[in-house]
Every structure is written in structure tokens, then in C-alpha cells.
Structure 1
Amino acid sequence: MNPLPEWLTPLSHRVEQILAQGRLPHALLLIGRPGDGLHELGRYLGDLILCQADNRPCGQCKSCLLLKAGVHPDRLTIEPEGKSEVIKVAQVREVGHFMHETAQQGGNKVIRLVGADRMNIASANALLKMLEEPNRDTYLILEAGSLSRLLPTVRSRCRIYKLDRPTFEQAASYLGGQGVDATEVNHRLSMAEGAPMEAVAFDQDALESWNRQVATFQRERDFSALAAFIHQQIPQRLLRQLLLWVDAALRMQHNTEVILPDTDRPLVDRLSQVEGASLFRFRDYILELTGSLQNQANLNQQMWSEQLAARWLELQL
């Protein structure tokens, strides 16, 4: 039985059929949001390839039991590391060494590159050499959130699969199956932009932080107080929340249905009264700041906190 949620099973079935026919390419590139199950799909396909039974994945063969125990010697997982969260060339060289080793279980070998779009130029070029000369019975699964951030030469040597996003009904059903209280489903999915795996993972601190940010941005008009509050928040979480508000307000301006937590709707209703051009400029600023924070670990937090506070207040809510 396929353990994946229903919106991922059509894609997994396609790969299963290709594998059964002996036509599976040596490099699969999965494109999608982690919160929609990108990593769950990558892990499942790796298990599928390593299983040694006819009806894969069987869950009972030696290979499957090693996978369950997390000690399969023929599986390698590479993830971004360090403050910069990139996949470095030394990690890709580790992939090269692994590819040339003999499979200890006598079957296939699988390499998962989690966050493959976080490779730098040197690591991407090192991987390219391996993609050009794939080893027999060795399969690479690249998991990426963005296709555009991968080198065209890397993309062209992979079979690309794009994940479907779940419908609201599918996502809500998944949350219910994970034990999320029905009264929290809408709130959590709004926070996660409809991504169910991410919505399930929110802890109480994240929910409370979200509500504090709603309340503060809705009422606070003092520049110094708002800047001080921003300075205390988790940057990526706050910027994502601001972006959600702006995008929701823009959709409202075009009479598009918007799913929001009840706590956020009054703020977004007011934000939708702001001129669209001003909202787009603020949106561009949020995206620019998000990118800067991702690429510059030493960005002055007090400076950008004050700048963000000033730009928010300039919207004249």
C-alpha cells in the first residue's frame, strides 16, 4: 500500500511503472514545496528503488528493514549545511565516492540531494560530471523548490517531475488524519499557504507568534515600538507572514477568494484598501529583504527592522 497522501500517489505510481519496466532514468529531479510533501516523496521513491522484492516497496525484505532502521548502507542523503545553507563541493565529492563503491546489498544505490537548488556553482559543476557518466544501478534523486535556481545543464540531464499541490479539501483531510483539531485546520493551512506537511508541523509557539504579529501590526503606529518588535521576531517567519497579507490583499482587489485565519482578516481587509502599486512596491521590498537575509548571514538586523517598520507605516493603514 502506498503510504503517500493522495495528491502524491499519481506521480509515485508513474515512477513505479517506469521502474517495473526497467526504464527508470538515473537522475530524477523533483520540483515542489517541502510543505506539500517534496521530501516525503523523495524518501519514498528512494525506498522504492532500494527494495529488492517484486512488489515494491514490500516493507519486509532485508533492504526495507534496513531502511526502516535508518542504516541502509546503499543510501546516501546530502542536505544543505552551514549558516549559508548551501550544498558545498565537498559534499558533492562525497557523492562521487559513494557512486563508485560497490552496493553492499547487491542491488541498487540511491543518492538523495535534498535542497538541490541550494548547490553553489562549484558543487553544481561537480555534480554535472557525475550526471554525464552515470553508474549502473545508481540513482540520484534531486529535490528542489525552484527549477530556475538549477543550472540548465543539470536540469537537462534529469527526468523532471513537478509535484501537484493539494486541494484545500485534500490538505484539510490530511491534517485531520494527523490529529489536528478541526478548529485549527483553516488557521494552520493559511499560515502554511496551503502546504499540509508544514501546517501539521507548527507548534504552539509558532501559532502564538503568528497571533502576536497580527495584533502588533494591526494596532501599532509608533515607529520605535514597531521596529523594536520586528527586531525580536524570527525574520523568515515574519517576512513570510507579511508577504501572505500583501498577496491576500492584492487578490481581494481582484475579487479573488482568499482563505485567511479569522484573526488576520481585519488587517488584510484594511490592507486591500491601499493602492495596488504601493502594495506591489512593498511586496518587492519583502522579497528583496528575504533574499538578502538568505544570502548575507551578517545583515544588520536593527537596520532592516527599522527600515521595514518605516515602510509598513508608510502604507498609511
Structure 2
Amino acid sequence: MKIEEALNNLKHAIESERLAHAYIVVGSPREEGRCLVEQVLSLVFCSAKKKPCGDCRGCLDVREHTHPDIMWVEPQMKSRKISIDQIRDLQKQVFQTSYSGGWKACVLVGADRIGDQAANAFLKTLEEPPKRCIFFLLTDSPQFLLPTVVSRCQAINVASGLLNLPSDLRDKVVDILTHSSAVVSGKRSVITAFGVGERLAGLLGEIKDGIEKEEYQIAEEGSLDEDDDTLDARVSSRYREIRSAIIHALLLWHRDVLMLVCGTDKGLVFRKEAYDCLAKKAEGLTVRAALRNIQTVEEMNRQLERNMPDKTVLDFGFSRLN
């Protein structure tokens, strides 16, 4: 679903007073997901007749994440988990009277990072939510949310299905994917497969170094008094999002190959610009082998989420791809 369509649906829900108390927004927590939530909150907290005006105090506070009736919760520590203490603090605040006398809102950024104990505590709030309070759970990995949490929320999927990366970085990723297809379609060996994994691991290393440099530069130039744990957590969060987008691109790549192996039409291929490369990779590949490739990429993603070393996961994973 496009952001505009989702926003229009939520606008009608606001006008008809049919807002759900909780939404799972599937998309990048720092890209389309956050964009949608900020626009919805501007509609809710704008004080002008024509909403959102973009200029009133409410709109400005939403944009700057300083509105007293909106709580933004995201992983803060190196564990990259939303802690039970954060949820308890959230619970205290959502049951307090609104500063503006209207709505209150809570946004969980990277909601899939909520720990088990915290998730169970948060579930109680969803089961008995405070009046005039709306919850947004932003995640690009909804499969990691507790089913009991999911069942108490409405889902909105605004994931673009594209890499949320700068064009130069996206081109590098596509080049690696193209090379990986050439390797497995030609004279495949463990050495060449490791080479592809090493290239991708090297690119990820460059990305992480760039994020660290940028975040620490911002911290030095800014006035925020943040400790190293908070900065490290922000670096880790941004890096994981980009890594997740790259693995998602790899998954889509092998999904396209499977579609071609099954004889699907070119129009259903996601990366149409790489059709020739994908078609060549699909030649001589069985449906079982194509499915096994997808399962391998999914297993790589699970291993990365468990904090296994990137290079180890990628080297071994690419060595298993057909």
C-alpha cells in the first residue's frame, strides 16, 4: 500500500472517529513507516481547521518529536532491545491526563526489538488501552512480533519493496547480486562463492564505518548529552536497517529466479532491469533448488538477527546457494 493511500484511510478513520487503538506499520522504521506515522500524528495534533497546517505548535512539535503527548520509544542499549523499564515508563505516561486535553500517542520504533518480558507487559496495555490513546508499532520485521500482540493491532503495510538506500550504494548491491548469479550460473566453486560473500561483507563494513563517523560527528557538533551506549545503539539500529534492506533485496532476487523457474511471465519479475541475468540463472535450476536458495537466504537473515558475525554468515550462506 502506498503511503498516500494509507494516510487517506487513516484520515477518514480520524474524521469518522473510528481510529483503532493500535496499528502495526510495516515498513522501514526510519523511512516510509516513520513518514506515515508523522503525517498521521500531524492530523491528530494539528490545531488548525484545515489539517495538517504544518505551521501550528502541534505540527511543529510532531515534526521535531517534542510533543508532550507523544511518546517515542526505541531500543537504547547495546542489546538492541526495548526494555521492560521503557515499557513501564510508557504505561505510566499513557494513563496520565493529556497535556493538551485531547489525544495521546505512543510510537514504538523497531517494535520487533521488544524483549519477551517487555512484550508481555505491553500486551496488557493493548488489552486494556487508555481512552483516546493511539499506539503505532513500527517494524520492518513483523514476523518477530508476538502473535498475541499482532492480534490486537490493525496492520498497515507501506513497505516499498525497494532498497531504501542511496543510488550509489544500491548500484553496488545490485552489482554484487549480479555477480553472485554469474558465479552460480557459471563455474561455481566454494572459493568463488566465498568471494561474493566477502564482497558483501566488505560493503557492509564500509556502511557501518560511515554510519559511525556520521553519528559521532553529529554528537560532537550538537548539544545533546548522550553517552557512548546511546550512540552505539543508534549506530547499530541504522546499520541493522540497511543490512536488513540488503538481505531483503537478496531474497527478492531469488524470489524472481524461482518465479522464472516456474515459468512465470516477465511482468511479474520484481527486478525487470536484471531480467536477462535472472533468466540465465534460472536455466537448468529445479524448483526444489530455487526454493532451497530462498530458504538459505532466510536462514542467513535469522543468523544475522542472532548477532552471528556478518562475514561468517555471508561466506557460508553464499557457498550454499545454487
Q: TM class, shorter-chain normalised?
A: 0.7 to 0.9
Instruction: Report the equivalent of 2:212.
Output: none
Instruction: Report the equivalent of 2:95.
Output: 100
Which 4+ residue blocks in structure 1 deviate beyond 6 angstroms? none
Give the length in aligned residue pairs.
Answer: 273
Q: Which consecutive unaligned segments of at least 5 residues does structure 1 have?
A: 1-5, 166-191
**Does 2:32 align with 1:50?**
no
Instruction: Report the equivalent of 1:243.
Output: 251
Q: Quick one: which of 81, 96, 117 aligns to 2:112?
A: 117
- Structure with higher helix content: 2
Tell me the TM-score normalized by structure 1.
Answer: 0.72
Letter in 2 for 1:250: L
SS in 2 for 1:60: coil
SS in 2 for 1:34: coil
For 2:272 and 2:94, the matched residues in 1 are separated by: 48
Letter in 1 for 2:156: K
For 2:300 and 2:182, the matched residues in 1 are separated by: 21
1:153–1:213 Cα change, 3 Å: closer
Give runs of aligned pairs for residues 155-304 of structure 1, distance below 5 A. 155-158=150-153, 160-163=154-157, 193=161, 195=162, 198-199=163-164, 201-215=165-179, 217-219=181-183, 221-233=188-200, 234=204, 236=244, 239-253=247-261, 254-257=263-266, 258-260=269-271, 262=273, 264-273=274-283, 274-295=285-306, 297=307, 299-301=308-310, 303-304=312-313
Q: CA RMSD in A?
A: 3.1
**1:88-135, Cα deviation, whole Å (9 max, x unpaired):** 222212211321344333432211112323323211111122223322
Q: Which consecutive unaligned segments of at least 5 residues does structure 2 have?
A: 205-242
| Contact map agreement 1:111 1:139 (CA 8 A) in 2 | yes
Tell me the TM-score normalized by structure 2.
Answer: 0.71
| Contact map agreement 1:246 1:271 (CA 8 A) in 2 | no
For 1:238 and 1:51, the matched residues in 2 are separated by: 37
Instruction: Report the equivalent of 1:127.
Output: 122
**1:117-167, Cα deviation, whole Å (9 max, x unpaired):** 332321111112222332233322223445554334323433x143367xx
For 1:16 and 1:238, the matched residues in 2 are separated by: 33
TM superposition shift of 1:251: 1.0
SS in 1 for 2:67: coil
Fraction of identical pairs, as percent = 23
TM superposition shift of 1:300: 4.6
Give runs of aligned pairs for residues 24-103 of structure 1, distance below 5 A. 24-25=19-20, 27-34=21-28, 37-82=32-77, 85-103=80-98
